[in-house]
């Protein structure tokens, strides 16, 4: 049973693989991750993924790994292949109001929980375990959780979730670039690049900026 496993929040790759094999033997395993926590603008997007063993094996041959270790082009190709082979996934954005009201961590976990629950509706039965990237548990989730630091680099299903979250968020930011021209969201994706910071100091913020994140830059406007 799940409770017989000792699931550390920190594990090396061998420990992670061993625990994952035991969990898979017990039932369905879902992975969840987010993208955009460190940005100055735009939502946090969380994603949840379920992989069959065959899908996992195929994705690993396509260089599946943590989204941060991949180029945008590589992420898009893997995401396209995931859809081609029928991987089940769900994504959910936590918007600016939620981030400012709850703080970015709580908003991220809320979005993770929503993405997990939406994914559960698409799969055959409830998961045995939800693997959460990081060391914070999702509030009020009905399923057992394994919080694991660097799960996106250790556990393939979480790597896949990280790619879905990043690809969906990048596409949203590209759309926002058209709605809010001048901030170069297509390039910076809302993250605090020096160019983005300089633009905020000159132009101020737009509707999708996180005001609490940008306050120190607004105090030094040119």
Domain for residue 206, yes or no? no
Q: Is the pLDDT confidence value at 124 over 90?
A: no
Q: Is the pLDDT confidence value at 1 over 60?
A: no
Q: Is the pLDDT confidence value at 3 over 80?
A: no
pLDDT of 193 reads: 97
Domain for residue 129, yes or no? yes
Q: Is the pLDDT confidence value at 152 over 90?
A: yes
Structural domain span for residue 27:
2-178
Domain for residue 184, yes or no? no
Neighbours of 208 (CB within 10 A): 20
Q: For residue 2, what pLDDT band results from cuts at 50, 70 and 90? A: low
The structure's pTM equals 0.96
Domain for residue 198, yes or no? no
Domain total in the chain = 1
Arithmetic mean of pLDDT, 182-204:
97
Q: Is the pLDDT confidence value at 22 over 60?
A: yes
Domain for residue 192, yes or no? no
Domain for residue 218, yes or no? no
Arithmetic mean of pLDDT, 141-158:
96
Higher pLDDT, 133 or 124: 133
CATH assignment at residue 149 = 3.30.420.10
Domain for residue 70, yes or no? yes
Domain for residue 196, yes or no? no
């Amino acid at each position: 049973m799940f409770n017989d496993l000792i699931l550390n929040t920190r594990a090396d790759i061998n420990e992670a693989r061993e625990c994952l094999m035991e969990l898979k033997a017990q039932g369905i395993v879902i992975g969840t991750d987010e993208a955009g926590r460190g940005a100055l603008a735009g939502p946090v997007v969380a994603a949840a993924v379920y992989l069959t063993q065959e899908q996992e094996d195929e994705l690993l041959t396509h260089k599946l790994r943590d989204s941060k270790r991949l180029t945008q082009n590589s992420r898009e190709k893997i995401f396209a292949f995931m859809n081609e082979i029928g991987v089940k996934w769900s994504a959910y954005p936590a918007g600016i109001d939620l981030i400012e009201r709850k703080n970015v961590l709580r908003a991220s976990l809320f979005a993770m929980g929503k993405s997990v629950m939406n994914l559960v509706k698409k799969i055959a039965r409830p998961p045995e375990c939800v693997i959460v990237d990081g060391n914070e548990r999702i509030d009020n989730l009905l399923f057992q959780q394994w919080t694991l630091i660097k799960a996106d680099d250790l556990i393939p299903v979480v790597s896949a979730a990280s790619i879905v979250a990043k690809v969906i968020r990048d596409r949203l930011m590209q759309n926002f670039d058209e709605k809010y021209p001048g901030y170069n969201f297509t390039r910076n994706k809302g993250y605090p690049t020096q160019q983005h910071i300089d633009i905020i100091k000159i132009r101020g913020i737009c509707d999708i900026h996180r005001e609490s994140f940008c306050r120190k830059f607004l105090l030094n406007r040119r």
